[in-house]
Structure 1
Amino acid sequence: MTSPYLQLPPTDPKTDTLNVIIETPKGSRNKFSFDEKLLLFKFKNVLPEGSFFPFDFGFLPNTLAEDGDPLDVLLLMDEPVFTGCLVEARAIGVIEAEQTEDGNTVRNDRLLAVSENVRMHKGIKTLHDLPKPLLEEIEHFFKAYNEGMGREFKVVGKHGPPQALKLIRKAAEAYQKKS
């Protein structure tokens, strides 16, 4: 038995359009994640009162990041979509980060992307197009989210689309080697 999510490539090879699978919709306090063994979306935890996901959050199928999970994607859209929704998007950059838990530090980068079908964020092509306060809020969300889970999240770099696409290719290759 397999899932259609696991049959999708992470990107369209001709256009580099991302195939983002949404796990947690914008505005949700509940965190969901796709369980590859069960082939279902599973409730993972709830954020503290007053905290919520600032944008839709998901993953790129058939990728393996350094933390052992698929690559994470924070997706800018006009309105939230539902858990399990496939959204075609374009990478605008990556927040490179180290995550520390119980003394172990791993890379846990976050891709930032914009849906191909938006109105409000249509002109955003790179991280530099984001208002600085918005990028700071996104970084703060990831730091606070991880702190609430007993982990430290440290931003070590921010880069545009070329670095994001390089990271995606590396994670797709790592997934292929694992399979």
Structure 2
Amino acid sequence: MGNLWKDLDIGKNPPEEIYAVVECVKGERNKYEYEKDSSAIFLDRVLHSNVHYPGDYGFIPRTWYEDEDPLDVLVLVEDHTFPGCVVSARPVALMK
């Protein structure tokens, strides 16, 4: 797989079923960032508090928002995956 943002489809059957590219995993305090130009995953920062990710957090491929990044996605999972993992997900809510 080349570039997870440009080369991967939005999903198998959007908007009912989409792909989520995981950047930050459930329970972790490390904030990773997928660099769209190099296709590398960089450690952006560590959250130095009791805050952690409640689910796997990442982005939806081939999307773009006014904050100059792909659309964010939070995938509710029982066990975390890993940064760069592509997960098939069913959207259930929209947060602003």
**TM-score exceeds 0.5:** yes
Deviation at 1:48, TM superposition (A): 1.8
Aligned Cα RMSD in Å? 1.7
Task: Quote the Cα distance in structure 2 between the aligned partners of 1:45 and 1:14.
Answer: 32
Deviation at 1:8, TM superposition (A): 1.1
Aligned residues: 95
Task: Quote the Cα distance in structure 1 between the aligned partners of 2:55 and 2:23.
Answer: 11
Which amino acid counterpart does residue 36 of structure 1 have in structure 2? K
Partner of 2:89: 89
Task: Quote the Cα distance in structure 1 between the aligned partners of 2:80 and 2:14.
Answer: 27
Ranked by relative contact order (alpha carbons within 8 Å, sequence separation 6 or more), the top structure is 2
Task: Quote the Cα distance in structure 2 between the aligned partners of 1:20 and 1:14.
Answer: 12
Task: Quote the Cα distance in structure 2 between the aligned partners of 1:82 and 1:18.
Answer: 18
Runs ≥4 residues deviating over 4 A: none
Determine helix, strand or coil for the equivalent of 1:91. coil
Residue 62 to residue 50, structure 1, CA distance change in 2 (3 Å): same
Deviation at 1:12, TM superposition (A): 2.2
Task: Quote the Cα distance in structure 2 between the aligned partners of 1:15 and 1:55.
Answer: 20
Which amino acid counterpart does residue 30 of structure 1 have in structure 2? N
Partner of 2:63: 63
Unpaired runs of at least 5, structure 1 = 97-179
Corresponding position: 1:52 with 2:38: no
Q: Describe the superposition over 1:66-95 as per-residue Cα deviations: whole angstroms up to 9, x where unpaired.
A: 211000001101111000001000000111
Which amino acid counterpart does residue 42 of structure 2 have in structure 1? K
Which amino acid counterpart does residue 55 of structure 1 have in structure 2? G
Structure exhibiting the larger radius of gyration computed from Cα positions: 1
Partner of 1:18: 18
Deviation at 1:41, TM superposition (A): 0.5
Task: Quote the Cα distance in structure 2 between the aligned partners of 1:37 and 1:89.
Answer: 25
Partner of 1:126: none
Unpaired runs of at least 5, structure 2 = none
CA contact (8 A) 2:3 2:36 kept: no
Partner of 1:137: none
For normalisation by structure 2, the TM-score amounts to 0.90
